[in-house]
Amino acid sequence: MKILYNVLVFFLLLAGVKGVAQDFVYTPKNPAFGGNPYNYSWLLSSAQAQNTHTDESYLYEQTKTDPMKDFAESLNQQILSQLARKIIANQFGEEALTSGTYILGNYQIEIGTQSDGIRINILDKESGSSTTVSVPYM
């Protein structure tokens, strides 16, 4: 009976003690789910450091070059550069620029003189885009 009395007193004393606890508050780390927006750079760098997957097709495309295509592109750029120099020299020098249509690789260039200057129309046959440049007489 003494044991039952001790257990009863223990539970009565325990019932009189105020329970103390605090609220559990969950705060996410990932800013995509409501976390601190300053964590995104750390999360991104951690994910990139752990990423071991590589895109082989992207790497192959970056290293694959066609020498003939590179040569043709370089030649086109040099011809266009020479044409631009000749136009500038014509405006500020004594050389004359011949009017007409020129086909350089993928470009069709039409040069014509007007009353107010020189008009150059450059058509990219591959993409269909056209650029018109007017150079006034000085």
How many CB atoms lie under 10 A from the CB of residue 111? 20
Q: In this structure, is residue 126 part of a structural domain?
A: yes
Return the structure tokens found at 33: 């789910």
Q: In this structure, is residue 107 part of a structural domain?
A: yes
Is the pLDDT higher at 105 or at 8?
Answer: 8
Q: Quickly tell me which residue has 């592109």 as its tokens.
A: 73
With left for phi above 0 and alpha for psi between -120 and 50, is residue 97 left, alpha or beta? Answer: beta
* C-alpha to C-alpha distance for 19 and 116, rounded to whole angstroms: 94
Q: In this structure, is residue 106 part of a structural domain?
A: yes
pLDDT at residue 138 above 70? Answer: no
Residue 83 contacts residue 77 (beta carbons within 8 Å) = no
Query: Could you tell me which of 13, 105, 106, 136 has the C-alpha nearest to residue 120?
Result: 136
Residue 71 contacts residue 99 (beta carbons within 8 Å) = no
Containing structural domain, residue 131: 98-138
Q: In this structure, is residue 38 part of a structural domain?
A: no
Q: In this structure, is residue 109 part of a structural domain?
A: yes
pTM, two decimals, is: 0.40
Q: In this structure, is residue 71 part of a structural domain?
A: no
pLDDT in tens, 117-127: 788 888 888 88
Q: In this structure, is residue 39 part of a structural domain?
A: no
Q: Quickly tell me which residue has 């694959």 as its tokens.
A: 64
Return the structure tokens found at 9: 């007193």
Q: What is the pLDDT of residue 24?
A: 85
- As a whole number, mean pLDDT of residues 66-70 equals 79
Return the structure tokens found at 75: 């030649």
- As a whole number, mean pLDDT of residues 97-103 equals 79
- As a whole number, mean pLDDT of residues 66-90 equals 80
- The distance of Cα 122 from the centroid of its chain, to the nearest Å, equals 28
Q: In this structure, is residue 87 part of a structural domain?
A: no
Total domains, the chain: 1
Is the pLDDT higher at 94 or at 26?
Answer: 26
Residues in CB range of 92: below 8 A, 6 or more apart: 138
